[in-house]
Amino acid sequence: MQKKDYLECGRVQNTHGCHGWVRVESYCDSPEVLASLKCLYRRRGEVYEAVRVLETGRKQETVLMHLEGIEDMDAAELLKNETLYAARADIPLAEGAYFIVDLEGLPVIDADDGREYGRVSDVQTVGGQELISVKTPSGVRLLPNVPAFVVRVDVESGVYVRPIPGLLED
């Protein structure tokens, strides 16, 4: 499967002050990862336009950013609710880690007998718990992304699981 070159990394929540700064909700593993990026991208149809990050700061769990070309509150206001993207290559990944977006479409395979239950249709966080949506022949099932159920993830071949009876089948 073709991996996306640009990944959603945050959403502009609001303006911050009157000099063009914006408050950005981080979609990264931590706000520090988002704040470390020197270049972000704005999506225009199928084209991603680079925008340089001039300065960053923090306010609780949000990242404050001053972006190139955004010099006043009126310009910052136009970015409200816009999704920002990062180049895949600019986000550091620890060994064995993966981007959640890379799970979508992967087969969900029994780690013991190789049986395929279905495919990953989505990954969501509910109440602090990451859940993998698995599209099975009998409908969508939710699988907690915890070591008790998910044995290993290989973004090239699939998500290998050891579910309890009835979790992924009727």
Fold exhibited by the domain 6-89: Elongation Factor Tu (Ef-tu); domain 3 (2.40.30)
Please give the pLDDT value at position 127. 82
Confidence of residue 134 (pLDDT cuts 50, 70, 90): very high
> What pLDDT shows up at residue 118?
95
What is the per-residue pLDDT for 93? 87
What are the pLDDT digits (tens) for 12-51?
999 998 899 999 999 988 899 999 999 999 999 999 999 9
Contacts of 159 (CB under 8 A, 6+ apart): 103, 106, 107, 108, 109, 120, 132, 150, 153
% residues pLDDT > 90 (the chain):
76
- Assess whether pLDDT exceeds 70 at residue 1: no
Q: What pLDDT score does 159 carry?
A: 96
* pLDDT of residue 69 exceeding 80: yes
Helix/strand/coil (H, E, C) string of the chain?
CCCCCEEEEEEEEEEECCCCEEEEEECCCCHHHHHHCCEEEEEECCEEEEEEEEEEEEECCEEEEEECCCCCHHHHHCCCCCEEEEEHHHCCCCCCCCCHHHHCCCEEEECCCCCEEEEEEEEEEECCEEEEEEEECCEEEEEECCCCCEEEEECCCEEEECCCCCCCCC
pTM above 0.85, yes or no: no
Mean pLDDT of 118-142: 92
The C-alpha atoms of residue 99 and residue 88 are separated, in whole angstroms, by 9
Tokens coding 124: 């969501």
Q: List the structure tokens of 67.
A: 């972006």
Domain 100-161: homologous superfamily in CATH: PRC-barrel domain (2.30.30.240)
Of 79, 101, 95, the C-alpha closest to 7 is 101
**Which ranges in the chain are annotated with CATH 2.30.30.240?**
100-161
Give me the amino acid identity at 120: V
d(CA 58, CA 33): 12
pLDDT at residue 126, rounded to an integer? 84
Average pLDDT, the chain: 92
Chain region(s) in the chain for CATH 2.40.30.60: 6-89
